[in-house]
Amino acid sequence: MSNFRLFIMPILAVALAIATGAIIIALSGSSPVDAYKALIDGSLSDSRSIGRTLEKATPLVMGGLAVAFAFKAGLFNIGGQGQLVFGALIAGAVGYGITGLPWIIHTPLALLAGALAGAIWGAIPGILKSTRGAHEVITTIMLNFVALNMTDWLASKVWREEGVIVRTPHIEESAEIPRWGEIPTGFLLAVVIAFVCWYLLRSTTFGFEIKSVGLNPNAARYAGISVKKIVIMTMAISGLLAALGGAIETQGVVGRYEPGFNAGLGFEGITIALLARTHPLAVIPAAILIGAMEAGGSMMQFKADVSPEITDIIQALILIFVATPIIVRWFLSQKEANELSVSTTWGSS
C-alpha cells in the first residue's frame, strides 16, 4: 500500500465515522451542525479548551503507545487498563507518602515508581506466555480484573484518606506535574516518550529484535534472538508505557488516586493504536483526536442537547471503519475492494 493510502485510510475512517455520527444525531432530533460546533467549541476554540484536550489526550498517547509497542513484537496487550491503574495508584502513594523531597526528585520518583509497577504488572503475562505458553490476550484481560480489585483494596484499606470517600490522600505539591501555561507538561512528556519509542524501534538493535520477533518468531529464533526474553521485555515496556499514562494522570490532573476515575482509559489505547496503524508517532494525532472528543463532549450536551455518549458512538464507529478497511476502500475504489485481504488491518510501519 502506498504512503498516500496509509495516510488517507485513517483520515477517511474518521470522516466516515463523523458523517455516520451526524446521521445518528439528526435521527435523535438534534442538529448535527450545532452539535459538532459545540464539540469543537469545547475542545479546540481557545487555549483553555485546547489545554483540556491535550490533558485528555495524555493518557491516551501512553495507552496507544503501549498497545502499538507490544504489537511490534506480535503481542496484543489488552491489559492497559490494569497497568494504568497500578501506575496511577503507586504514583499517588509515593506522591503523598514521601514528604520533604524537592520537586526535582519527588516528581520523577513518583512517576518512576508508577512506571515500574506497570512494568512488573505487564511482565507477568509476558512471563506466562514465555514459560507456560499462555496467550497474552487471555492473561492480560484476566489481570485487568485482578489489578482493579487489588488497587481498590489498596486505596480503600491501606492508603486511604480519612473520611467517607474512598481515595488516597492528595499528593504533596513536590510531586505535582505543573502546567506550562495552558499546556499540561504531562502531554509534552508523552510526546517525548512517543519519539523515544519511535527511535527505539527504528534505530536500535533491540528494536530490530522486537520487530523480528513480531514479523517471524521462527526466523528470529533461528537467528539467535531469544524470543522468550523479547516477549517478556516487550510486555514489560508496554505495561510501563500504560502505567506512566496513569502516573501522569495522577500527578498532573487528579492529584490523587480515586478508584474508577480513569475507567476505560486503558481500553481506548486499542482504538488509538489501530487508528495510528501502530506507528508510535501517529499515536499523537490519534490521541489528540479522541482527546478532543472527550474534552468537547460535555459542551455538546450543554449547548446542543446531545448526550455526550454520542462521542463514544463516534469512537466505536472509527474503530469499526479502521478495523474493516474494506468499507473505506470501497469509497476509494470499488475494484480494489475485490482484491482486498483482511490481514492488512494493522499498520506495516
Partner 1 sequence: MSSNTLALEATSISKTFGNVKANDQINLEIKKGRIHALLGENGAGKSTLVNILFGLYKADSGTVKVNGEVVDLGRPKDAIDQGIGMVHQHFQLVPVLTVAENIVLGKEPANRANVIDIEEAKKKVKELAENYQLDVDTEATVEDLPVGTQQRVEILRSLYRKADILILDEPTAVLTPQETDHLLQVLKNLASQGVAIIFITHKLREVLEVADEVTVMRNGQVVGSTTPSETDESGLAEMMVGRSVVLRVAKEESSPGETILKVNNLCVHDDRDLLAVNDLSLEVKSGEILGIAGVEGNGQRELVETITGLRNAKTGEILISDTSIIEFSPRQISELGVAHIPEDREKHGLIGAHSVADNLILNRYYKTPFSNKGIRQQKAIANYATEMVEKFDIRTPDIDTPSSSLSGGNKQKAIAAREFSHDAKLLVASQPTRGIDVGSIEFVHQQLIQQRDQGLAVLLVSAELDEILSLSDRIAVIYRGRLIVTENSAELDRNRIGRIMTTGSDST
Binding to partner 1, residues 226-245 (CB under 8 A): 226
CB of 222 to partner 1, least distance (A): 4
CB of 287 to partner 1, least distance (A): 26
Beta pairing partners, 179 = 184
CB of 271 to partner 1, least distance (A): 25
- Piece in contact with partner 1 (CB under 8 A), picked from 65-73, 95-103, 137-145, 207-215: 207-215
The amino acid present at 189, given as its one-letter code, is: L
Binding of partner 1 by 225 (CB under 8 A): yes
Check residue 100 and give left, alpha or beta (phi > 0: left; psi -120 to 50: alpha): left
CB of 234 to partner 1, least distance (A): 16
CB of 211 to partner 1, least distance (A): 8
Distance of alpha carbon 326 from alpha carbon 339, whole angstroms: 10
End-to-end CA distance of the chain: 11
SS3 of 275-303 = HCCCCCCCHHHHHHHHHHHHHHHHHHHHH
Q: In terms of C-beta distances under 8 Å and separation of at least 24 residues, what long-range contacts does 345-349 make, across chains too?
A: 345/274, 346/71, 346/274, 346/277, 346/278, 347/6, 347/276, 347/277, 347/278, 347/279, 347/282, 348/1, 348/277, 349/6, 349/277, 349/278, 349/279, 349/282
Binding of partner 1 by 219 (CB under 8 A): yes
- Piece in contact with partner 1 (CB under 8 A), picked from 216-224, 233-241, 253-261, 319-327: 216-224
Of 212 and 234, which has the nearer Cβ to partner 1? 212
CB of 278 to partner 1, least distance (A): 13
Phi, psi of 13 (to 5 degrees): -60, -45
Closest CA to 196 of 244, 140, 255, 146: 244
Binding of partner 1 by 204 (CB under 8 A): yes
DSSP string, 325-341: HHHHHHHH-HHHHHT--
CB of 212 to partner 1, least distance (A): 5
Contact code string over 276-305 relative to partner 1, x by CB under 8 A = ------------------------------
Closest CA to 315 of 334, 340, 296, 343: 296
Binding of partner 1 by 330 (CB under 8 A): no
Binding of partner 1 by 340 (CB under 8 A): no
- Piece in contact with partner 1 (CB under 8 A), picked from 123-131, 210-218, 279-287, 307-315: 210-218
Of 29 and 224, which has the nearer Cβ to partner 1? 224
Q: From the list 215, 263, 316, 340, which residue makes contact with partner 1 (rule: CB under 8 A)?
A: 215
Binding of partner 1 by 216 (CB under 8 A): yes
Of 158 and 219, which has the nearer Cβ to partner 1? 219
Q: From the list 218, 334, 341, 343, which residue makes contact with partner 1 (rule: CB under 8 A)?
A: 218
The H or E element spanning position 310 is: helix 309-323
Of 179 and 211, which has the nearer Cβ to partner 1? 211
Binding of partner 1 by 345 (CB under 8 A): no
**C-alpha triplet 234, 214, 223: angle, nearest 5°:** 100
Binding of partner 1 by 133 (CB under 8 A): no
Closest CA to 267 of 206, 215, 305, 319: 319
Binding of partner 1 by 196 (CB under 8 A): no
Residue ranges binding partner 1 (CB under 8 A): 203-209, 211-212, 215-216, 218-226, 348
